[in-house]
Amino acid sequence: MPTVTATNSQAITDLVQSGEALYGTIAGRALSENGQKISNGITSLFDGLFPQAQQKVSFDIEGVFTGATKTLEGIDEAIVAAKTKVAAATSSTTPETPAPSSTATEATPVSGGGGSGSATTGA
């Protein structure tokens, strides 16, 4: 009777959890209870099939899943940062709006003074 050695890998579980986190970030809510049950069932199925799939491919499938997980985590982090940046920019832009207008007004006379400086250059 052949012995089958199964190596448990967290690659599938980590990938699914990263996908769920990304969904939560984009949707603004977690999976529903039924959605979580379905996700857990599919994850368990693929975790069980992973050792067999790993033996049948000629590349590092665990590395591929780990890279995909990191990609999803990076996208999630970027979306969180973008949402945070928008909120921060909105609150800080409003008070600063009058300051650039007065600065632009002051800049106009300075450029007029540059004309007299060019006469000095011509001399």
Which pLDDT tens digit goes with each residue over 29-77?
888 999 899 988 988 888 888 888 888 888 988 889 999 999 999 999 9
pLDDT value, residue 91: 59
Question: What residue spans define the domains of the chain?
Answer: 11-98
Cβ neighbour number for residue 42 with a 10 Å cutoff? 12
Give the pLDDT band (50/70/90) at residue 94.
low
What whole-number distance in Å separates Cα of residue 43 and Cα of residue 11? Answer: 10
pLDDT at 85 (0 to 100)? 55
95 pLDDT tier (thresholds 50, 70, 90)? low
Is pTM beyond 0.75? Reply is no
Q: Which two tokens stand for residue 11?
A: 């690659």
